[in-house]
């Protein structure tokens, strides 16, 4: 028993002696010998590292080296780059016995980094990395250096980091506050290691942004590369939140290159815009823009950017596309987008609750960006399966635009709507002092009533029509191009159009009743509609006025022609019709019997008013023209009577002259004299007859 107790005491004493030896060894090791090593490693990268205090041991919570405060300057101009309040390095215990220091981790508290760019665009940070920097001169090893010291890092903790960025060239400034970083198994030679990061950032006067990163990274300082395979990124700006997954392969050397993929979870767009101090658009549907997401695969090079493929989601609508940009100084852009079904009505501004709003002040004309248009190099194609605008379905809309050297071409315009199809092509020539616009549009079988109801809130016309339009304009300002000099020449035809509540047949009959001074039966009921079939029109738009140059149509038994105008800004119109009974017709149902003298005469009807007050009295007989017509008819009849009376008197005069001659001169002599008188009367008659009109 005594032997066992003695052996136990010896063992305990031996352990105590060993522990004492370890403590003595550890705490008698001159840690300040690490200063030259650390300073030399920093100097090789152009950094002047200052450790003002002594390096000491720290026992709690882990065995660690306490470096105290650190100051980092540029070796070139001594600019302060960073400062640390407290730096601790955790080390492994056993390698110390071999005079090796294997670092478990590094903890930096109160790190403050300064990155400044001067007015010449230079920064002291550009001297870091060994390029152009002067390495520190070799220092002699102490006599008791012993075996070489090895250094390894397995954990890095940074708390309360602050970063300040200023740019004297641009006036930009940025701050990062409260940065906390945790990294494990850190290697800076390209091996991936887990990284957790959290920070608050602010750029210029924009609101504070909170960022959280969680995912592996691989950094190679020598190769200047950063690789991320699958990292989660959470960003909160005010009330807006963004959740994204990131994969990237980036080379931050010269030139900068990066490729990878970004997946943005659907998020509400209005809060994000408000956080960025951008007023979000007011939408008719309050649920619009509440789910906006994207998946973007990108490739960024020295003078190019490719986004392909890109998949956007807007409130359930998917839009796939790609974008390529080359030559950033004079970009050449190729892009194409194809979407599903999108209800544009949801994204339009809500209708005003008040019927009348104050007139907005007229915007002064804005110069066209002709120089920018000349530099534009673009090939863009956009299409959707279906768009809905004001309740009107627009199927398969397709648009393709190319631009080069100031010539912008609309290569393709195609869509199906209102039971018909619309196609077009055109160009905008911006190569001169003024832009020149030319465009041709064709429509086939389009329901005119649907279009008028949708775009003009007019439900007075129904029927399908086909049309061609030639559009031209010129100008150096938006107002000159889109308003002052805009001219549209168009032709249209329709198998049948119906106009309500106007009945032009009724007005023709009323015109007949006026001319014949008779009243129409009071018990007649006229349909509140006019049917024109077929219809051909020629129109011209210029100076905010649509001129109906010619209209030819058949209205039941009537042949109709018309011309007139419609003012776009006021809605006023004035269209006089000329109606005549067709050769194939004997009468018009509901009319009085028509005198023969009026059957072949064209009677005037005038449609006049505004879009707001179209009604049964919009089209009425033109009383002024009817009055002129009656006057002309009376003059014609009076002239006929005068001619008849003149002929009668001339005949009577001839007879009397004959009798007188026979009585006075005898029959033989009177024959020759009679012929002389007849010749005289014939000459008199010819003088009285009106001369034919000159052609």
Structure confidence at residue 684 as a pLDDT band (50, 70, 90): very low
- Provide, rounded to the nearest whole percent, the portion of the chain with pLDDT above 70: 70
Note the pLDDT of residue 671: 47
Looking at residue 41, what is its pLDDT? 66
User: Tell me, what's the pLDDT at 662?
Assistant: 54
**pLDDT tens digits along 268-323:** 999 988 888 889 999 999 999 999 999 999 999 999 999 999 999 999 999 999 99
Query: Between 99 and 160, whose confidence is greater?
Result: 160
Q: Best-predicted range by mean pLDDT among 177-181, 252-256, 395-399?
A: 395-399
More confident residue, 511 or 628: 511
Pairing of strands 155-167, 112-117: parallel
Q: Please tell me what DSSP assigns to residue 477.
A: B
Q: What is the pLDDT of residue 52?
A: 64
Q: What percent of the chain has pLDDT over 90?
A: 40
Contact criterion met (CB below 8 Å) for 26 and 64: no
- Please give the model's pTM, rounded to 2 decimal places: 0.73
Q: Which residue has the higher pLDDT, 249 or 558?
A: 249
> What is the C-alpha separation between 322 and 303, in angstroms, rounded?
17
Phi and psi torsions of 259, nearest 5°: -145, 155
pLDDT of residue 693: 45
What's the pLDDT at 218?
92
Domains of the chain, residue spans: 31-132+148-168, 187-349, 495-621
All residues at 6 or more sequence positions from 76 whose CB lies less than 8 Å from its CB, including other chains: 46, 124, 127, 132, 133
| Structure token digits, residue 46 | 């152009």
Q: Are 554 and 583 in contact (CB under 8 A)?
A: no
SS3 category, 356: coil
Inter-residue long-range contacts of 447-455, CB under 8 Å, 24+ positions, other chains counted: 447/418, 447/419, 447/420, 448/418, 448/494, 448/497, 450/392, 450/418, 450/419, 451/392, 451/418, 454/389, 454/390, 454/391, 454/392, 454/418, 455/390
pLDDT of residue 135: 44
Judge whether residue 490 has pLDDT over 90: yes
Which residue is it, tokens 């008849």? Answer: 644
Signed CA dihedral, 681, 682, 683, 685: sign only: positive
**pLDDT tier for residue 680 given thresholds of 50, 70 and 90:** very low
Instruction: Give me the helices (H) in 29-105, please.
Output: 34-43
pLDDT at 569: 85
Q: Is the dihedral of CA 31, 35, 38, 41 positive or negative?
A: negative
Task: Report the pLDDT value the prediction gives residue 153, as an integer from 0 to 100.
Answer: 63
Label residue 508 exposed, middle or buried (CB < 10 Å: 0-12, 13-18, 19+). Answer: buried
Cβ neighbours, 10 Å, residue 199: 18
- Judged by average pLDDT, the poorest of 70-74, 242-246, 317-321 is 70-74
pLDDT at 640: 58
Q: Strands 317-326 and 619-621, how do they pair?
A: unpaired
Residue 669 has pLDDT above 90, yes or no: no
Give me the pLDDT at residue 4, please.
Answer: 37
Q: Look at residue 222 and tell me whether its pLDDT is greater than 90.
A: no
75 CB burial (10 A radius; 0-12, 13-18, 19+): buried
Give the pLDDT mean for 582-607.
Answer: 73
Q: How far apart are CA 591 and CA 581, in angstroms?
A: 12
Q: How far apart are CA 575 and CA 620, in angstroms?
A: 11
> Does the pLDDT value for residue 133 go beyond 50?
no
Q: What is the arithmetic mean of pLDDT over 567-585? A: 83
Answer for the pair 465, 494: CB distance below 8 angstroms, yes or no. yes
- pLDDT value of position 524: 77
User: What's the whole-number average pLDDT of the chain?
Assistant: 79
pLDDT bin (cut points 50, 70, 90) of residue 596 is confident
What confidence score (pLDDT) does residue 305 get? Answer: 96
pLDDT at 388 over 90: yes
Quick check: 336 pLDDT over 90? Answer: yes
Contact 123, 116 (CB under 8 A): yes
3-state secondary structure at position 7 = helix
Q: How far is CA 624 from CA 131, 621, 627, in A?
A: 96, 9, 5
Token pair for 4 = 């066992």
pLDDT reported for residue 27: 46
- Tell me: the pLDDT tens digits for 511-563? 878 877 788 777 778 888 999 989 999 999 999 999 999 999 998 878 899 99
Does 620 score more than 60 pLDDT?
yes
**Residues forming a β-bridge with 86:** 109
Q: What is the DSSP string of 637-681?
A: HHHHHHHHHHHHHHHHHHHHHHHHHHHHH-HHHHHHHHHHHHHHH
Model confidence at 134, pLDDT cuts 50, 70, 90, reads: very low
Question: In which band, very low, low, confident or very high, does the pLDDT at 492 lie, cut at 50, 70 and 90?
Answer: very high
Could you give the angle at the alpha carbon of 257 between the alpha carbons of 297 and 129, nearest 5°? 140
| Rounded-to-integer distance, Cα 257 and Cα 326, Å | 14
For residue 460, the 8-state DSSP code is S
HSE-up (13 A, CA, CB side) for residue 680 = 10
Quote the pLDDT of residue 7: 40
Dump strand ranges (E) for 14-55.
47-50
**Higher pLDDT, residue 151 or 690:** 690
Higher pLDDT, residue 288 or 47: 288
Between CA 29 and CA 496 the distance in angstroms is 106
| 204 or 34, which is more confident | 204
Mean pLDDT of 69-75: 70
Least confident of 26-35, 47-56, 342-351: 26-35
Buried b / exposed e over 177-195, threshold 16 CB at 10 Å, is: eebebbbeebeeeeeebeb
Q: Does residue 397 contact residue 415 with C-beta atoms inside 8 Å? A: yes
- Sequence length of the chain is 695
The pair of three-digit structure tokens given for residue 290, joined into one six-digit string: 């509440």
Q: Which two tokens stand for residue 311?
A: 């998949």
Most confident stretch, 6-20, 293-307, 578-592, 630-644: 293-307
Indicate if the pLDDT at residue 61 is higher than 80: no
Please name which of 597, 562, 563 lies closest in space to residue 581, comparing C-alpha atoms: 597
Higher-pLDDT residue of 44, 647:
44
- Residue 165 sits at the vertex; the CA angle it makes with 160 and 166, to the nearest 5 degrees, is 150
Q: Give the range among 12-26, 51-65, 364-378, 597-611 with minimum mean pLDDT.
A: 12-26
Residues 227-250 as b or e (16 or more Cβ within 10 Å = b) = bbeebebebbbbebbbbbbbbbeb
């Amino acid at each position: 028993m005594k032997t066992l107790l003695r052996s136990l005491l010896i063992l305990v004493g031996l352990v105590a002696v060993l522990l004492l030896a370890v403590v003595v060894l550890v705490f008698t090791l001159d840690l300040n010998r690490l200063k030259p090593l650390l300073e030399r490693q920093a100097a090789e990268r152009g950094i002047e590292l200052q450790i003002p205090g002594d390096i000491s041991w720290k026992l709690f919570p882990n065995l660690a080296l306490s470096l105290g405060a650190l100051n980092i300057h540029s070796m070139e101009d001594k600019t302060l780059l960073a400062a640390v309040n407290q730096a601790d390095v955790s080390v492994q215990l056993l390698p110390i016995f071999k005079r090796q220091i294997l670092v478990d981790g590094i903890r930096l508290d109160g790190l403050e980094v300064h990155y400044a760019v001067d007015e010449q665009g230079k920064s002291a940070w550009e001297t870091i990395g060994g390029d152009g920097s002067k390495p520190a001169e070799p220092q002699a090893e102490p006599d008791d250096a012993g075996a070489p010291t090895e250094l390894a890092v397995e954990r890095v903790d940074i708390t309360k980091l602050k970063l300040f960025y200023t740019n004297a060239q641009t006036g930009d400034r940025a701050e990062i506050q409260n940065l906390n970083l945790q990294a494990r198994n850190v290697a800076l030679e390209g091996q991936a290691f887990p990284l957790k990061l959290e920070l608050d950032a602010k750029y210029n006067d924009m609101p504070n942004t909170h960022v959280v990163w969680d995912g592996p990274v691989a950094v190679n300082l020598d190769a200047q590369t950063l690789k991320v395979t699958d990292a989660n990124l959470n960003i909160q700006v005010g009330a807006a939140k963004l959740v994204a997954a990131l994969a990237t392969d980036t080379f931050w050397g010269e030139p900068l290159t990066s490729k990878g993929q970004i997946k943005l979870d659907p998020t509400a767009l209005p809060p994000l815009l408000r956080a960025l101090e951008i007023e979000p658009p007011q939408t008719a549907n309050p649920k619009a823009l509440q789910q906006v997401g994207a998946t973007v695969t990108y490739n960024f090079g020295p003078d190019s950017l490719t986004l392909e493929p890109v998949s956007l989601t807007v409130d359930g609508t998917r839009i796939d596309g790609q974008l390529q940009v080359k030559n950033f100084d004079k970009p050449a852009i190729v892009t194409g987008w194809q979407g599903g079904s999108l209800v544009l009505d949801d994204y339009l501004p809500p209708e005003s609750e008040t019927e009348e709003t104050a007139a907005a002040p007229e915007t002064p004309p804005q110069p066209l960006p002709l120089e920018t248009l000349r530099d534009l190099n673009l090939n863009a194609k956009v299409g959707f399966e279906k768009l809905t605008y004001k309740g009107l379905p627009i199927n398969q809309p397709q648009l393709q635009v190319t631009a080069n050297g100031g010539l912008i071409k609309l290569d393709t315009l195609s869509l199906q709507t209102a039971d018909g199809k619309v196609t077009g092509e055109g160009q905008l020539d911006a190569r001169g002092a003024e832009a020149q616009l030319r465009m041709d549009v064709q429509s086939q079988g389009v329901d005119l009533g649907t279009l008028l109801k949708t775009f003009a809130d007019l439900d007075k016309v129904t029927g399908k029509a086909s049309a061609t339009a030639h559009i031209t304009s010129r100008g150096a300002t938006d107002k000159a191009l889109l308003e002052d000099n805009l001219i549209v020449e168009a032709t249209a035809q329709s198998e049948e159009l119906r106009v309500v509540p106007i009945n032009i047949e009724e007005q023709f009959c009323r015109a007949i009743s006026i001319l014949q001074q008779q009243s129409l039966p009071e018990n007649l009921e006229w349909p509140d509609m006019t049917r024109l079939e077929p219809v051909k029109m020629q129109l011209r738009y210029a100076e905010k006025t649509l001129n109906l140059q010619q209209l030819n149509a058949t209205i039941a038994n009537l042949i109709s022609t018309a011309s007139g105008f419609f003012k776009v800004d006021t809605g006023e119109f004035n269209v006089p019709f000329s109606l005549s009974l067709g050769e194939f017709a004997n009468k018009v149902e509901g009319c009085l019997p028509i005198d023969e003298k009026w059957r072949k005469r064209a009677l005037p009807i005038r449609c006049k008013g505004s879009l707001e007050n179209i009604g049964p009295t919009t089209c009425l007989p033109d009383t002024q023209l009817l009055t002129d017509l009656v006057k002309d008819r009376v003059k014609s009849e009076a002239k006929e009577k005068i001619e008849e009376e003149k002929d009668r008197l001339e005949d009577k005069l001839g007879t009397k002259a004959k009798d007188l001659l026979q009585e006075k001169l005898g029959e033989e002599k009177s024959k020759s004299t009679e012929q002389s008188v007849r010749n005289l009367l014939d000459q008199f008659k010819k003088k009285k007859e009106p001369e034919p009109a000159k052609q």
